[in-house]
Amino acid sequence: MDSIKTIALVAHDNRKQDLIQWAEFNYKTLLRHKLVSTGTTGKLVEAAIKDKLGVQGEEFSILKLKSGPLGGDQQLGALICEGKVDLVIFLWDPMQPQPHDVDVKALLRIAVLYNVPMACNRAAADFMISSPLLDQPYEPVIKDYSAYMGRFGV
């Protein structure tokens, strides 16, 4: 990982406002990094940060994928597999069933598989965003899963 990280932002409907508030509070730190997000969340967070920046925010943008239920979670998972995402802030709703629950579980699984740090609540997001590792190069240890390949018919 370079000193400039690619940070993914994702939030379920009941947690979008929490993520917006978190992003507004941390916008100065977030501006030092590249941001990618699922569609609706990205639009909302981008608008909130642009409001904080005023006229200077005209050039600010977040790479917006499709909405989660329309494949955005899978797109984000693919970016993680390609090594293009350094950390994920995913405020998911543990009390509300999601119509795309299998996609959500796949995203959580792939982040763990590729040793990508993931915050699933605001406290963890606060710890990650304030880590001294955020603004410096970091080389995560990637587990070798090649021994599993024969078990899965690959």
Active site residue 2: no
**Residue 58 covered by a domain:** yes
CB atoms under 10 Å from CB of 67, counted, come to 16
On the 0-12 / 13-18 / 19+ scale of CB atoms within 10 A, 146 is: exposed
Give the Cβ contact number of residue 122 at 10 Å. 16
> pLDDT band at 151, cuts 50/70/90?
low
Collapsed DSSP state (helix, strand, coil) of residue 131: coil
Q: Is residue 153 part of a domain?
A: no
- Residues ≥6 apart with Cβ < 8 Å to 99: 69
CATH number of the domain where residue 53 is located: 3.40.50.1380
Q: Is residue 152 part of a domain?
A: no
Please state, in angstroms and rounded to a whole number, the distance separating the CA atoms of residues 20 and 75.
Answer: 21
* Residue from 73, 93, 101, 103 carrying the catalytic annotation: 73
Total domains in the chain come to: 1
Whether residue 11 is contained in a domain is answered as: yes
What pTM does this model have?
0.90
- Establish if 126 belongs to a structural domain: yes
Q: Which domain holds residue 46?
A: 6-146
Task: Determine the Cα–Cα distance for residues 99 and 85; give it in Å rounded to an integer.
Answer: 25
The answer to whether 37 and 90 are in contact (CB under 8 A) is no
Q: Are strands 118-119 and 63-64 parallel, antiparallel or unpaired?
A: unpaired
Is residue 81 a part of any domain in this protein? yes
**Residue at 90 is within a domain:** yes
Q: Is residue 32 part of a domain?
A: yes
The mean pLDDT of 14-26, rounded to a whole number, is: 96
**How much is the mean pLDDT over the chain?**
90
Task: Say whether pLDDT at 58 is over 80.
Answer: no
pLDDT greater than 90 at residue 1: no
